[in-house]
Amino acid sequence: MSFIGKPLAASIVAATLAAGISGAAAQSPQRGGVLNSTLWPEPPGIVIGINLNAPTLLPSSKMFEGLLTYDFRMAPQPMLAESWEVSPDGLTYTFKLRRNATWHDGKPFTADDVVFSVGEFIPATHARSKPTFERVKASAPDPHTVVMRLSEPYAPLIRSFDALSAPMVPAHVYRGTDFRANPANQSPVGTGPFKFKEWRKGEYIHLVRNDAYWQAGRPYLDAIYYRFIPDSASRALALESGQVQLATQTDIEFVDVARLGKLPNLKVTTQGWEWNSTISWIEMNIRRKPFDDPRFRRAVLHALDREFIRTNLFFGLAKVPTGPIHSSSPYYDADVPRYPYDPAKAAALLDEMGLKPGPDGVRARVKLMGLPYGELWNRLSEYIRQSLGKVGVAVTLEATDVAGWGNRFANWDYDMTTTFLSTLSDPALGVARTYITANQRKGVLFTNTSGYSNPRVDELFAKAAGTSDDAQRKAMYSEMQKIVAGEAAIAWLVEIDWPTIHDARLRDAVVNAFGPNDNFAGAWLAK
């Protein structure tokens, strides 16, 4: 099967397209068929926790599961736990596990695996979930019951048991080993509906049906191929021609979305990313000058026309953010310091810092390490370079591959970089990690890599996470947003409305808040 095509010319109208992916009510799911999905860039690994890059999550979530999953409204639903109870004081969580779940190597899934996963594996490997599960002490009174105890209430905990936040891993495979060097990372062992078959570097990841899956009769698909197609035009052509049946997130350039959505054999939706609440930003290394001065960071924001970025780079599939919390969150507060496009204001702030233009008009020279996820991100880097250049900040663009970008970013070896991050269903889960001082963990991605630190912000995040009074939490998060936005801790660019594009024959692929990051146990191809 060929996945190479000639470049496509596209002219589109900025629009957000939405279409459901659920199967027609009159049709029953059909068994069989192979799903081909694009995946770009090629991930650095396929075990959640060991790697948390977006391309890792798509195939990994088909192999690994959590105790719970969540519907479109983020209400918890059973997964490996068939039921659960929370004590009235919010300090004890009791999970009853499924008795028929097994690992892909045939060993039974038990409470010991849960205790190991939340007590050892996740705190050691999962940068985002480490602060959550360090609060928890788990025990197993019997092989099918897990009790988790907290010393103080932690309201977001009930939304922390999905496969991406808390993947269950086999204790008999990982216990007593170097988690990051374990051979199982190259041949994962999970409980999910699909098993690892092969990873042919530069070509594809191949998953096959788990015939011993705990949900009777599922999965319906025989196999899934995640195919690596470097050229964006070729990815679009493969989808258009039916060679692949699914593309999402960074797979398809935003410039192609509206055109593809008009084709009769394809459907487009932005549903299924409720769990993510993604914000893209420029992260500046506050450990270095001139980024340590809030005036410079404010100047960067004023120098960027974020409405232009939203409209002309993301083609309307985005919104302009105001600060660290996504506008869809109940804790969002719009009443924060704002940074409208104002190059004159940016220049004035740089003047105030003493960064006067030299004979060549340059005030400062900095480097920008662009996110290596495709043409959109290259165009974004070029726009940033041009915009900052207009106010006297000369930007040198640095190109890397995915592994190099992750290594340099995690080890604080950068001036500025573009990135995006899921802010999740609660600020304690997806927002705090980027700003709290205690989460500055060199060598670990998606922590506080910028070096931002404010004791009052640390205090507010800690207090808000430890109270169940929602009015108090809102007040604390409002104050936090005002401080963080006022200090321009990060240059927030856009809230991304990720598109998922699929063949019209693919049914029930987006059924909850995880969209294409769900396990696809119920996904099927109509004949």
Query: Domain limits of the chain?
Result: 34-63+192-271+500-525, 68-174, 278-496
Residue from 319, 275, 313, 247 nearest 496 by CA: 319
Long-range CB contacts (within 8 A, 24+) of 439-447: 439/127, 439/131, 441/127, 442/410, 442/411, 442/412, 443/410, 443/411, 444/127, 444/410, 445/52, 445/53, 445/127, 445/406, 445/409, 445/410, 446/52, 446/127, 446/128, 446/421, 447/127, 447/410
Region 91-102: mean pLDDT is 98
Q: What is the pLDDT of residues 441-472, one digit of tens each?
A: 999 999 999 999 999 999 999 999 988 899 99
Query: Residue 26: pLDDT band by 50, 70, 90 thresholds?
Result: low
Inter-helix orientation angle 343-352/294-303, to 10°: 160
Closest alpha carbon to 509 in 62, 47, 32: 62
Lowest mean pLDDT across 5-14, 124-133, 397-406, 438-447:
5-14
pLDDT of 509 > 50? The answer is yes
Q: At what angle do helices 294-303 and 375-389 cross, to 10 degrees?
A: 110
Q: Is 249 exposed, middle or buried (0-12, 13-18, 19+ CB in 10 A)?
A: buried
pLDDT for 487 beyond 50? yes
Contact 325, 479 (CB under 8 A): no
Contacts of 39 (CB under 8 A, 6+ apart): 55, 58, 59, 205, 226, 227, 228, 251
The CATH class, in words, for 278-496 is alpha beta
Sheet holding 500-503, edge to edge: 194-200, 204-209, 223-227, 34-38, 246-248, 500-503, 266-269
Residue 1 — pLDDT band, cuts 50, 70, 90?
very low
- 356: β partners: none
Q: Are strands 204-209 and 194-200 parallel, antiparallel or unpaired?
A: antiparallel
Paired strand residues for 227: 38, 204
Kindly report the backbone phi and psi dihedral angles of residue 196, in degrees, each rounded to the nearest multiple of 5, phi listed first: -70, 135
> Tokens 């860039």, residue?
41
Domains 34-63+192-271+500-525 and 278-496 share a fold: no
Q: What is the pTM of this model?
A: 0.85
pLDDT tens digits, one per residue of 163-221? 999 999 999 999 999 999 999 999 999 999 999 999 999 999 999 999 999 999 999 99
| CA dihedral of residues 21, 23, 24, 27 (deg, nearest 10) | 160
Q: What is the pLDDT of residues 30-58, one digit of tens each?
A: 999 999 999 999 999 999 989 988 999 99
Residue 198 has a CB neighbour count (10 Å cut-off) of: 12
Model pLDDT for residues 366-425, shown as the tens digit of each residue: 999 999 998 999 999 999 999 999 999 999 999 999 999 999 999 999 999 999 999 998
pLDDT of residue 3: 34
SS3 state of residue 34:
strand
Instruction: Determine if the peptide bond prior to 183 is cis (ω within 30°).
Output: no
- pLDDT computed for residue 458 by the predictor: 98
CB-count exposure of residue 354 (10 Å: 0-12, 13-18, 19+): exposed
Beta strands in 175-239 (DSSP E): 194-200, 204-209, 223-227
Give the long-range contacts of residues 468-472, CB within 8 A, separation 24 or more. Answer: 468/90, 468/153, 468/155
**Burial class of residue 52 in the structure, from the number of CB atoms within 10 Å of its CB (0-12 exposed, 13-18 middle, 19+ buried):** buried
Q: Per residue in 70-86, pLDDT tens?
A: 999 999 999 999 999 99
Distances (CA, A) of 407 to 178, 286, 303, 410, 421: 19, 18, 29, 5, 17
Fold of 34-63+192-271+500-525: D-Maltodextrin-Binding Protein; domain 2 (3.40.190)
User: Which residue pairs, CB below 8 angstroms and at least 24 apart, start in 458-466?
Assistant: 461/427, 461/428, 461/432, 461/435, 461/436, 462/436, 464/427, 464/428, 465/154, 465/155, 465/156, 465/428, 465/432, 466/152, 466/153, 466/154
Q: What percent of the chain has pLDDT over 70?
A: 95
Domain covering 68-174 in this structure, CATH number: 3.90.76.10
